[in-house]
Structure 1
Amino acid sequence: MEYELIRSSRRTLSIEVSRDGRVLVRAPRNCSKKQIEEFLARKAEWIAEKLDMQKRIAEQVESRTQLTDQQRSFYREKAREVLTQRVEHYAKAMGVTYGRIAIREQKTRWGSCSAPGNLNFNWKLILMPPGVLDYVVVHELAHRREMNHSDRFWAVVEYYMPEYKKYRKWLKENGRLF
């Protein structure tokens, strides 16, 4: 396996897989080549998973740029329809109100809730598993009770979606593929 070795005054070995698919190994100055190779062998499966993820990200970015305006428009309308229905469902169950719903294409956010209760959602949620979309809806509506990310906020999210951690993890691990 090819890798770039960076030696420094650190005490431990570490591995990083960069966005461009390079494997970076950080090692103490006195660490032997044998120790580094053994460390890499123990971490081979993890490295392979990260390299595969970087490959999938690159493929997704390439396919995303190939969407036509017509396809984007279709997905935005479908997202508006589904998200509006899910917001109505969960708002009723949670006993909260909301303002307008906007469908956007943010680069770093899946949803947001303003102080007056206006909700913004990324249309790409429609491409994800339904539970992930529902998690984002519940998350934003929970801000109608707690406008922060305190323990009380997460208790509201968990009450209405007990398995939210699974979807939150999925979004963190796979969201950038979209």
Structure 2
Amino acid sequence: MPLLQYGETTIEWQFQPDTKLKRHYVTVERGRLVLLRGPQVAEVEQEALVRRRARWIREKLALVNQPQASDAIVTGSRLRYCGRSYFTEVRHVPELAKPRLTFTASRFVIENPDGASIQPDKLMPVLENFYRDRAHEKLLARVRHWERETGLQANGARIRHFQSRWASCDAHNVLEFHPRVMELPASVQDYVVVHELCHTLEKNHTKAFWGLVASHMPDWHRHHEVLERAVFGDAV
């Protein structure tokens, strides 16, 4: 596999040609090589693309390779929603067939058939379903709001689980959002929506694209930095 030395970090990547993509994407995941996907390019061009995102890749490698938290979720743990962390109560409800999660204005309640604690891998599908429901309710409404505000029009919007991205705008201008966008502060959710709406006119991250984003959201840099600290992939 090709290598790039960036300071003290050795970046080894794998290239995956994808003719359906119009631009290149870098994905960083725990225990895997850095993945570069997009239209076919020679190795020298691949290296240039990886070098362009080398600082971002280095930060993500350090983040995803930290020891994984294995602590069970118990009463007093905190879960994230809309940029805040909320008190979580775990109740043992043995008659249930599977865990159930509800949210009030101030706390999460997890009803668990297996005890008064739940492992993160058992909780994540339930939590992601919660995010998905809230995204259908709230995020898609923000798409309609920003379509009115910007004059930009998508050919639909939906919630979809991505392997390593927050959102996308496909070749037909259909917007797709990962349920976990609902973890983010509302202002950053709006940035994600505006970002993807701008891709309905400018498919690549060109100077014209960022100018369009800035025309509708002048403080976009501040929100973009929040996404830069996330573990999902990034376009190059």
TM class, shorter-chain normalised? 0.5 to 0.7
The C-alpha deviation readout for 1:116-146, integer Å capped at 9, x for no partner, is: 2211111101011222211111110001222
Structure 1: distance between partners of 2:135 and 2:178: 8
Task: Give the alignment partner of residue 200 of structure 2, picking from 139, 144, 156.
Answer: 144
Q: Does 1:97 align with 2:153?
A: yes
> Larger % of helix: which?
1
**1:44-55 aligned within 5 A:** 55=66
Cα contact 1:102–1:121 (8 A) shared by 2: yes
- How many pairs were matched up? 134
Please tell me whether residue 107 in structure 1 is matched to residue 163 in structure 2: yes
Q: Verify the 8 A CA contact 2:198 2:212 in the aligned structure 1.
A: yes
Partner AA of 1:80 in structure 2: H
Asked whether the 8 Å contact 1:98–1:144 carries over to 2, the reply is yes
2:121 equivalent among 65, 68, 73: 65
Distance of 1:90 and 1:58 partners within structure 2:
37
**Which AA in structure 1 matches 2:145?**
H
Work out whether residues 111 and 122 of structure 1, in 8 Å CA contact, stay in contact via their aligned partners in 2. yes
Q: C-alpha deviations, 1:87-106, integer Å up to 9, x for none?
A: 01111111122122121121
Distance 2:62 2:165 in 1: 25
1:52–1:136: structure 2 CA closer, same or farther, 3 Å change rule?
Answer: closer
**Runs of 4+ more than 6 Å apart:** 17-20, 50-53
**Unaligned stretches of 5+ in structure 1?**
1-9, 21-49
Q: Give the distance between the partners of 1:52 and 1:113, measured in 2 at CA.
A: 27
Question: Which of structures 1 and 2 has the bigger CA Rg?
Answer: 1
Q: TM-score, normalised by structure 2?
A: 0.48
2:128–2:180 Cα contact (<8 Å) kept: no
